[in-house]
Amino acid sequence: MTEPLISFRSVSKSYGAVRALDGASFSIEAGEVVALVGDNGAGKSTLVKVMSGTVVPDTAEITVEGKPVKIHHPNDAAQLGIATVYQDLALCNNLDVVANLFLGREHHKGSLIDELAMERETIDLLAELAVKPRSLRVPIGSLSGGQRQSVAIARCLLGNPKMIILDEPTAALGLAQKQQVVELIRRLKARGLAVVLISHNLAEIFAVADRIEVLRLGRNVGSFPGDSKYTDDVVAAITGARITSSEAVA
Amino acid sequence: MTTQTVNDTALPGAAAEEAGGLRDKLRLLMRGDSASHVGVTQVLVGLAAIWIVFSLLNPNFVSPTNLTNLALQIVAVATMSIGVVLVLLIGEIDLSVGSVSGLAATVMAALNVKQGMPAFVAIGLALLCGLVVGLIHGTIIATFGVPSFVVTLAGLIGWQGLQLLIFDYTGAMNLGDPKVLALTDTFFQPWAGLVATVVIALAMGLVTRRRRARRRELGLGNRSAAFDVVRLVAFAIVVAVLILVFGINRGIPLSVLIVVGLVVLMDFIARRTLFGRRIYAVGGDAQAAERVGTNVKRVTIQIFVLASFFAALGGVLSASRLMSVSQSAGGGEVLLDAIAGVVIGGTSLFGGRGSVWSALLGALVIGSISNGMDLLALRSPVKLMITGAVLVAAVIFDAVMRRRQSR
Ligand SMILES: Nc1ncnc2c1ncn2[C@@H]1O[C@H](COP(=O)(O)OP(=O)(O)OP(=O)(O)O)[C@@H](O)[C@H]1O
Ligand SMILES: [Mg+2]
């Protein structure tokens, strides 16, 4: 077995009496898409926050490419090549695609923004990801949800991350737009990126994930290949009960 | 004034739209699509309508003398409005700009007239006073997270109090220092303006050429060169006509050059610099801006400092034109005009959308209405009601545009 790209072991985090994470583990390899599933309150968001540095765990052993590291701050995570696309996207709706893509890391000469270089890079990056916004120069608020999501994902690629965490990337999208995002995730994988996908939508998970990790009450309770023949097992692991229905209850 | 330059600001952003036909371009212009590109066309159409109505009612309205007067009348409010645009862009409001302008005028007059300080020192200290006031507002708003509405409302009252306090010691002040009066009483010969216009147009042509070359180098594609040439020539012609109109009367007013220069500078900063990008980002979504590393508090403080600075400068220009400072300087309609003008000019009250040019455009609209009604000798109750109606119309327009855009 090869060394995982990034691994988190024995991660625990308590909020007062609530053990949000109780010795949970997670590891991922380059070019792998791992879905993180679990019922409400299972600890998915908390684990993601630990990975992205916004929550400091009580205990955790973290290694990146075999080397032990510490993540105490979002900047630590960014430096280690971990990027997170939050559910609320953090885009500025009044700014255009180019401005949003480079928000906070604009190309500049002195204090002048180099708009043309940014536009060139935007065109290249979006073409590579097969994202086709209606226009690069309209306010991003006027684009569709799927396109906004795509821009948010493309934006975190600019930092050249090794691993991308997507928190419910399709929650607010229609069917066609969900498909766009799923395609985009495939392309991220093809680029050799490790993708962590948080989702409540099993259909989409089976469509794109290589592996499914199930959390329950802060612990790992199952790990399954991303194949829809394991649907029942995944659902059973999520709910903690042996059931036969293949409905997504998570 | 400089109509074509305004159009100018609406176009560079059309970069990616260039493939689109004329119709798309027109639509882009009409909608004022991206954040920094206000729908300039509507404002210009409105302005044209106002001018036509007033010149039909009183032909003197479009006489060179009256147009020069109009230009001089709007300089102070337009200057203050630049600061208001910046504050609105970050999604805040500054209700103190009137009071601060009055305070700055009072400080300048007291130092110059009563203390006998040289004009430049008195003006410099008055502007410094504006900077300090803005620093106080901005720091309170950013540190305590209190609504700017309340803080600057307190400023509105408080700084007026300070102004009255100063008057307790000085009494009304007439400005006699020629250096102070020169700010609004200096006029340049038309030929100098025409030469400058040619030079500026050539410089713009060079910049455009370099930009086109760079776009080609980067493989970004260019719109047809004829378009750029026509635009530049149109710009030069419009400016030349303005200069000739000023020339028939007293010449090109220095104060108009000052305010146009400031608008061009601040518009450039807002659209092309990192600081400007932060301003739009904070106004668009302060949390998103914060997450990508913008220091929202610092931007807020900087903007309020700028707002009070421009307010103070407006106060100084106003005092210079009126040749005196009274207890009521900066009171009355000054605040309303400064804010209403900006909104009429197309900057959104809801943050993140607008252009510095709306300061000048809006002041021009409000100034034209006020000037025209004066020519018709309308009574001030009627003037107030009409100005109010225009403001409401502009705000409704803003809200409707916003709804259309969010669809
Ligand atoms: N900041 C907090 N303070 C207190 N308790 C918290 C906090 N954050 C999470 N918890 C608790 O930790 C547990 C795990 O929460 P978490 O948000 O990680 O679950 P989740 O798997 O993301 O659930 P969901 O599917 O609802 O998003 C829950 O019981 C939750 O109430
Ligand atoms: Mg969650």
Q: Which two tokens stand for residue A111?
A: 């204090």
Which fold, B42-189+251-406? ABC transporter involved in vitamin B12 uptake, BtuC (1.10.3470)
Most confident residue range from A79-88, A134-143, B252-261, B290-299? B252-261
- For the Cβ of A46 lying below 6 angstroms from any atom of ligand 1, the answer is yes
CB contact under 8 A, A92 and B285: yes
Pocket test of ligand 1: the residue of A11, A21, A26, A45 to mutate, having most ligand atoms within 8 Å of its CB, is: A45
Query: The tokens of A244 are what?
Result: 């036969």
pTM of the model: 0.86
Name the region of A130 (left: φ>0; alpha: ψ -120 to 50; beta: rest). Answer: left
| Residue in the structure block whose two tokens are 């990192």 | B274
**Sign of dihedral through CA atoms A67, A71, A76, A81?**
positive
Residue-wise burial string across A198-231, b where 16 or more C-beta atoms lie within 10 A, e elsewhere: bbbbbebbbbbbbbbbbbbbbbbbbebebeeebb
Asked whether the beta carbons of A216 and A36 are under 8 A apart, the reply is no
Task: Tell me how crowded residue A243 is: count the other CB atoms within 10 A of its CB.
Answer: 11
For residues B196-235, b (16+ Cβ closer than 10 Å) or e, as one string? ebeeebeebeeebeebeeebeeeebebbeeeebeebbeeb
Strand partners, A83: A164
What one-character DSSP code corresponds to residue A139?
Answer: B
Counting ligand 1 atoms within 8 A of each CB, the residue from A37, A40, A51 with the most, and so the one to mutate, is A40
Lowest mean pLDDT among A134-143, A194-203, B227-236, B387-396: B387-396
Sign of CA dihedral B56, B62, B66, B69: positive
| Domain limits, chain A | 6-91+162-239
- In angstroms, the CA B258 to CA B235 distance is 19
d(Cα A211, Cα A32) in Å, to the nearest integer? 8
Say if CB B295 and CB B112 are below 8 A apart. no
Q: Pick from B298, B265, B336, B260: which is nearest to B95 by CA?
A: B336
**Nearest Cα to Cα of residue A92 among B348, B281, B340, B104:** B281
**Per-residue pLDDT tens digits for A101-123:** 999 899 999 999 999 999 999 99
Residue that has been written with the tokens 């020169």 in this structure = B182
Q: Which residue has the higher pLDDT, A128 or B61?
A: B61
CA nearest to A114 within chain B: B272
User: Going edge to edge, which strands form the sheet with A59-64?
Assistant: A18-28, A6-15, A59-64, A67-69
Report the pLDDT value the prediction gives residue B304, as an integer from 0 to 100: 98
**Mean pLDDT over the full length of chain A:** 89
Query: What would the pLDDT profile of B115-161 be if each residue is shown by its tens digit?
Result: 999 999 999 999 999 999 999 999 999 999 999 999 999 999 999 99
Q: Indicate the SS3 state at residue A158.
A: coil
Distance CA B153, CA B163 (A): 16
Give every CB contact of residue A206 below 8 A, 6+ residues apart in sequence.
A226, A227, A228, A231
CA dist B165 and B169 (Å) reads 7
**Higher pLDDT, residue A238 or A241:** A238
Q: How confident is the model at residue B380 (pLDDT cuts 50, 70, 90)?
A: confident
Q: Could you tell me if B352 and B91 are in contact, meaning their C-beta atoms sit under 8 angstroms apart? A: yes
Over 80: is that where the pLDDT of A242 sits? Answer: no
Q: Where are the alpha helices (DSSP H) in A94-247?
A: 97-101, 115-128, 145-157, 175-190, 202-208, 231-239
Classify strands A33-38 and A59-64 as parallel, antiparallel or unpaired: unpaired
Q: Name which of A94, A96, A115 is nearest B283 (Cβ-Cβ).
A: A94
How far apart are alpha carbons A222 and A241 in whole angstroms?
13
**Tell me, what's the pLDDT at A170?**
83
Binning pLDDT at 50, 70 and 90, where does residue B406 land?
low
Q: How far is CA B193 from CA A38, B43, B122, B246, in A?
A: 72, 26, 30, 10
Question: Token digits for B254?
Answer: 């220095």
Tell if the CB–CB gap between B218 and A96 is shorter than 8 Å: no
Residue identified by tokens 């985090």 is A13
Helix B225-248 to helix B3-10 angle (10° resolution) is 150
Could you tell me if B371 and B56 are in contact, meaning their C-beta atoms sit under 8 angstroms apart? no
For A4-60, the pLDDT digits (tens) are 899 999 999 999 999 999 999 999 999 999 999 999 989 998 999 999 888 999 999
The pLDDT assigned to A124 comes to 93
Residue A134 CB partners (closer than 8 Å, separation 6+): A142, A143, A147
Complex ipTM more than 0.90, yes or no = no
Among A95, A94, A77, which residue's Cα sits nearest to residue A86? Answer: A77
Q: Which CATH number is associated with domain A6-91+162-239?
A: 3.40.50.300
Contact B98, B330 (CB under 8 A): yes
Q: Which residues of B touch A103 (CB under 8 A)?
A: 277, 281, 288-289, 292
> How far is residue A24's CA from residue A198's CA, in Å, rounded to a whole number?
16
From residue A88, give the alpha-carbon distance in Å to each of A74, A82, A168, B239, B380: 17, 18, 10, 47, 50
Residue A40 CA, ligand 1 centroid: distance in Å: 8
Gap from CA of A41 to ligand 2 centroid (Å)? 7
Cβ distance A114 to A128 under 8 Å?
no
Which single residue is written with the structure tokens 């990126």? A193
With a pLDDT cut of 70, the percent of chain A lying above it is 95
A96 phi/psi in degrees, rounded to 5: -80, 180
What span, in angstroms and rounded, lies between the C-alpha atoms of A135 and B99?
Answer: 44
Sign of the four-CA dihedral B313, B324, B250, B338: positive
Distance CA A218, CA A13 (A): 9
Chain B residues bordering chain A (beta-carbon distance below 8 Å):
13-17, 33-35, 211, 214-215, 218-220, 272-277, 280-281, 283-285, 287-289, 291-294, 351-353, 405-407
Ligand 1 center–CA A205 separation, angstroms: 21
A92–B274: do the CB atoms touch at under 8 Å?
no
The alpha helices in A158-193, defined as continuous H runs, are 175-190
Quick check: B92 pLDDT over 80? yes
Mean pLDDT, rounded, for B325-346: 90
The distance of B173 to chain A (nearest Cα, Å) reads: 43
Q: What is the pLDDT of residue B5?
A: 34
Taking the Cβ of residue A115 and every Cβ of chain B, the question of whether any pair is shorter than 8 Å is answered with: yes
Q: What letter does residue A245 receive in the DSSP assignment?
A: -
Q: Is the dihedral of CA B17, B21, B25, B30 positive or negative?
A: negative
Nearest residue in B to A78, CA atom:
B292
Rounded CA gap, B8 and B3, in Å?
9
- The more confident residue out of A245 and A112 is A112
**A20 Cβ closer than 6 Å to some ligand 1 atom:** yes
